[in-house]
């Protein structure tokens, strides 16, 4: 470290140098922020796609080996996975479009405030109480 302090960096890839590990962690945290935005703004991972051909289970399925299922069910499972991926990707595109609109048309957004809010706090609410909730 430039300041003379030592640190321990952990990685499963033993070929990475210290700066590469730090750069990888930096990228990971950017991705985590994007996932958080997708979850909290758009509910991107709040999907439920059920297959009628499989029994409803109260917990995670114990058998996740695709080849153990009949060919027809395998096809349905693969279609289900594709639907998951499309749903999340379309939400990511929607998030990108919302961010572009927010950057390019801020006056239009604020001119229509608060119509797009699901709920609007009462004016009497102390700013100290509700601003941190929106900053999170």
Domain locations in the chain as residue ranges: 18-55+71-135
User: Closest Cα to residue 35, out of 76, 79, 91?
Assistant: 91
| pLDDT recorded at residue 75 | 93
pLDDT for res 110: 76
**3-state SS class at 97:** helix
Supply the mean pLDDT for the chain.
81
Q: How far apart are CA 69 and CA 123, in angstroms?
A: 57
Residue 128 vs residue 107, higher pLDDT: 107
- Look at residue 97 in the predicted model and tell me its pLDDT: 92
What's the Cα-to-Cα distance from 86 to each of 53, 62, 93, rounded to whole Å?
A: 22, 25, 10
Do the beta carbons of residue 46 and residue 87 sit within 8 Å? Answer: no
Q: What is the pLDDT of residue 34?
A: 86
For the segment 81-95, what is each residue's pLDDT rounded down to a tens digit? 898 899 889 999 999
> In the predicted model, is pLDDT for residue 57 greater than 80?
no
């Amino acid at each position: 470290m430039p300041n003379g302090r030592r640190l321990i960096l952990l990685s499963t890839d033993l070929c990475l140098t210290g700066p590469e590990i730090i750069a990888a962690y930096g990228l990971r945290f950017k991705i985590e922020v994007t996932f958080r935005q997708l979850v909290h703004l758009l509910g991107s991972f709040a999907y439920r796609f059920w297959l009628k051909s499989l029994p409803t289970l109260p917990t995670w399925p114990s058998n996740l080996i695709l080849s153990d299922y009949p060919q027809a069910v395998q096809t349905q499972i693969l279609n289900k996975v594709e639907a998951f991926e499309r749903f999340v990707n379309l939400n990511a595109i929607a998030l990108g479009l919302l961010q572009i609109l927010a950057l390019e048309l801020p006056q239009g957004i604020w001119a229509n405030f608060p119509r797009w809010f699901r709920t609007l706090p009462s004016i009497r609410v102390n700013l100290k109480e509700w601003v941190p909730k929106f900053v999170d």
